[in-house]
Structure 1
Amino acid sequence: MAKADQKIRMSPSRDIPFNKLVLSQSNVRRTKAGISIEDLANDIARRKLLQSLNVRPMMDADGRETGMFEVPAGGRRYRALERLVQQKRLAKTAPIPCIVSEARGEIAAEDDSLAENVHRVALHPLDQFRAFQSLFKQGQSEEGIAANFFVPASVVKQRLRLANVSPKLLDVYADDGMSLEQLTAFSVTEDHARQEQVWESVSRSRNDEPYQIRRLLTEKAVKASDKRARFVGVTAYEAAGGNVLRDLFVEDDGGWLEDVALLERLVAEKLRTEAEAVAAEGWKWVEVAASFPYGHDHGLRQLEGGLADLSAEQQARLDALQAEYAELQEKYEGVRELPDDVDARFCELEETLEAFENRPQIFNPAEIVHAGVFISIEATGGLRIERGYVRGEDETAFAAMTSGSDSGARTAAPDAGSCGGTASPVQRTVITVAGQANPDDEEDDASRPLPDRLVVELTAYRTLALRDALGSHPHTAMTALLHKLCVDTFHRTSGPGCLEASVRQVQLPVQTPELKDSAPAKSITARHAAWKADVPTSDAALWDWLVALDDAGRLSLLAHCVSLGVNALSERADRHGGTGITVSGLHHRLDQADRLAQTTGLDMVQAGWRPTVENYLGRVTKRRILDAVREVKGENAAQLIEHLKKAEMAKEAERLLESTGWLPEPLRPVELDVRSNATAAAELLPEFLSDDEEEASDPDRGEQPHDVMPE
């Protein structure tokens, strides 16, 4: 007869006074983990014991029970109860729920302790999110939930945000279809339809990294660090009913402003208010835009104004700031990457010094009525006001005013209470609001303009390359020289006589160490050495040698000599009547340099310039590095390096940009306006000197006689 299977019998449970319990040495837990014993004690005090202790009777030497029980499983609960007894919050004899195992059973005490800890399954994060959400809906506050479960309130906020993600995506996460990091990226918005749309897109493309998810969810929003958001203020935007998307899991720089139309309306309203205040100064026109393109003031006359005088206190502060800036420059000269605090201080000093330099000017009221103002937003969110520009259509009236008034009237001091003076209200100021830029075009608000020294270094290389190019184009060199001579002949009424036409070889005060070893420098040096070996040292012999030189040789020599006078440096303009180059003078220089570059077919890539860590990438912001890589290699390449530190990012960008032909803006070819160039040339050159290389190189035309200039 077969023996029947024995039924499983559970260990009995009973209440045992706490003072009869002793912590067993068989407990396998030795390392601290989880919440502290103090927190566990407080939780037991609040909600009572949720899980019984596993105990075994203690035996004496004769094998009889002593009435005491050891605790091999539940040691942390025992310690928490012990803490409550020590704090006199629990009686020593308080009954404790226990499950009593056999003292000499087949299962060892260590086995019980190990099983209790190993077989325990941690709560799935999604279950925790939903549990927190349920408690919140029952009326518990975020702070209350955090206190009850011994976590920071920020953790509760994060869990509640995750619980509000689209239910469809939560199901995907529950089935291990996405990672927790991906789920956190979706929590940046509460729009379930948009979340599901983005997940469908990234899961198909396999480009489902968390940063990509965040980028797609916020691509139509405006970052709080954007200059438009800073100008209006996030508080004002929210007060107007705008919603701000915030990321609770990564640094978001203040979040994203979701209602772009509202933001643009607030920007336009605030700009118009500022424009009306400026218009009260009496200007003929005020043009307003969030930003103007580079060179928006080219070709416009700028009024000469005087800076408001500084008080003794302001002058003392200015001197102290300049001294501190000079001291920091000297201390950190040659340092490739500044410490964060020093870099921040440099920015503060530059902004403050710039505010002193750009303080409101005093203008002549008689000139104000013919001029206008540009109002835009600085990259930092501040207001930028550029006063005193005369448009071409107002030049006639302006010239008549200046020629018809005596010097006393032109220099009359305006009302000191206004930066623009008080003009006679004979006209109504025309305010033009140009509107916002396309919100889909990303503003480079995180990057500052290129450093002045870097721009000078870049244009120094371009100057050298342009000299080399001009030295190889005799026809263009002849045109340039004749242009110079014609300007001197037809547009100057005084000055040194007896010709004195000369080319002053321009030195390059700011340059990189490798400039002397560049391809243009070597080419110029070789050409100069070749001519120097042929040119006689005696003045009389030089004259005879030049007379005997054939036309091709004379043109080549002329091109070489003229080329050494090329100056295409972009320097800081002197706006205050000093000894430096003026704004209009700098524009004139760069316009002519662009014309020479276009005519000679200058290509900076062929001239040997390559972006390196030393000459560009290590000198600009991380945003500019990423923009350069993105422009040539695409978004994916930029994303691969955006997590790197600046030094490593610059090195990797140098590798990625190698042999791509990428150039920074100061070195890129400029497409000149043919019509405006022709007009400018007609004003400066007589008709017979119009530069038409196509006609000059046509062999079928033969030699054309020069026109006779009228007397």
Structure 2
Amino acid sequence: MKLSKAEFEAVIQASQRTFLPFSQLVLSVDYQARTPGTSPKLSIPELAASIKECGVLQNLIVVPGQSNTYEVCAGGRRLEALTTLVAAGDLPENFPVPVLIVPADRGLIASLAENAFHLPMHAADEYEAFAKLVARGKPVEDVAAAFGVTPMVVKRRMKLAAVSPRLMTQFREGSINLECLMVLASVEDHERQEQAWMGLDSWNRHPEHLRRILTQGEVESDRSPVAKYVTVKAYEKAGGPTRRDLFSDNDKKVYLLDAALLDQLAVAKLQRKAKKIAAEGWKWVDVRPRYVHDEYVRHGELRKASREPSKEEATVLQTLNEQLEQHSQRMNEIYDLDEPDEDSEAECTRLEAQCEELSAQVTALEEALAVWPSELMAEAGCLVYVGNDAEPAVRYGLIRPDDRASVLQASRGGAGAGRESPALASIPAPKTRPVHSEKLVRNLTAHRVAAIQAELLDRSDVALAVLTAQMAKSLLLEDYRQAYGCEDPLKLSVTDTHYGLRTDAQDIESGKAWQTLDAKRSHWQSILPTQAADVLPWVLSQEPDTVRQLFTFLVAITVTGVYATEPAQQRTDGLAQALGLDMAKWWEATGPSYFQHVSKARATEVIGEATGAAAGAAMQALKKEGAVAHAAQAVAGTGWLPTVLRLRPPTEVPGTDIAANADEDPPFDVGGEDEQARADAATSGTAPAGAASEPKDSELPAEAS
């Protein structure tokens, strides 16, 4: 409905402007154009704070009601804010409220006019207004109190107002979204902001990608082990420049801008550890802020020698070994049972714990018997650096290339000094029962693959990067994979992994990730040509954004990575890290999805890990079905994930030789005709034709490599 100018002026002329006590105002039901209860509630505290500071700046529109009351037909949020202030005692019940009294037959028209003609302020105007208030001398705390927000909100809005005017114009036009604007505002240099934004393709302007560009060369205090070791306090005390991101959820996060100074401080702090290591008798000790594989790739490395155990040590070792063997035999008997009862499972759990304790004792004794040969220590050295745990780490027994001959000579002079103890030669290795069955691991990793595929749908930058990297490994790295000619324009084959996932996880169709992917599949199948010959002409005729979305979907559905046993490292780890995969969004531990497939002892362990509360007695008293329900209820909403579904943290992975990585499984089912040949070669232990082998130094002693 659109009012004419004459109708609107008639409403105004027939109305009376005055003040009415708050106690005479009630919210109208019949004369409101906006449905009661549909207004946003989050801004009521802010509006109340503004009214307390500045008063009611815009009159309410009312119509006469019954019993000396007036019904508010426009201004419901202002009335609610006033009600909040009166209830809190900040305003009296007879507080005078400015109103415009209109006839009852014009109330609905007036309400519609106010709501229809009202234009909300653009967010950019709000940011700039906050900045102007502070610039004119009003304290941040006073501005925050006047609008019912925290001082941090005011500071963030001021920061947004300080973004490059050129970029702020694009924000007003809708070319830059708020998430990207916050990333841009995290740095103060307008030139850097504009270069970062303009340097990205329009389809690749994601907040995380933008943040990586703007923070190049900076060290994140909460992620860098070196920064954690040195501490921000020590770095700033040394005069190191920093930058804090007001928009970060972590208020302790700091960006360190002088990486060279940080490394110097780390080396200086490591010197105390280095002096202790040097006092042990090593020829040299290097100190570095971090371990870089390439710097020591040509170094050899000593092995410890085993000294003879004393009579007492040998007796203890023999006893421990006998106990381990007895426990392992009993555990193997339980594992071989078709359907072990609860008592057997409890016994097995107890024996496993005892085996772990016994093995720890054996390991401690082995370490006590393993020593560095003193004659070789005098020719070798150590590297002291900051480890991934932000603590000093040491690599012992490094042999410089120039010292290999002297190490060989020293080892020949001390031959026979250290002999391996017969008691350490063999420790029985009992069968180890995996935490999760093969079927459950396949189910969990299938859900993980589906979740990665779903996450990838909105990240064309990651899809392009990972596929490009995989093709580069296949086609450009020497001795990795040979390409053969074919009739197709690309030497590439792809496989849709969805049907395999459905086999590995029979409940996957009820998962969020599968449903997301299935909807996308239906969409593309509905618009693609039905004839294969028509697909390429159709793709060439589409807008670049459509092609990008199709490409991303196709890359996503080729992701693979289902396992039968829990691996230490999964082929999709790098991809999951790039996507920031949070499996708690896609999978939850319930009775059917997890607890029905694990033992009661495992369920008890999970409850303790997820909630921090012991549940042993409660679980032991329950039957299997009750224990499953209890565990599912206890863990619900905690976001707990089994290790195989958790996101591995990024670590400093040293560079490796290409030949060592040649047989690693890629995260995508992409390959060529030579894939089977490579697999056969790997299985038989023979290298593919042309593979390089590194020459070995046959003259090094057994203690050196």
- Structure ranking higher on relative contact order (CA contacts 8 Å, 6+ apart): 2
- Structure with max Cα Rg: 1
Q: What TM-score do you get using the length of structure 1 for normalisation?
A: 0.49
Instruction: Tell me the TM-score normalised to structure 2 length.
Output: 0.49
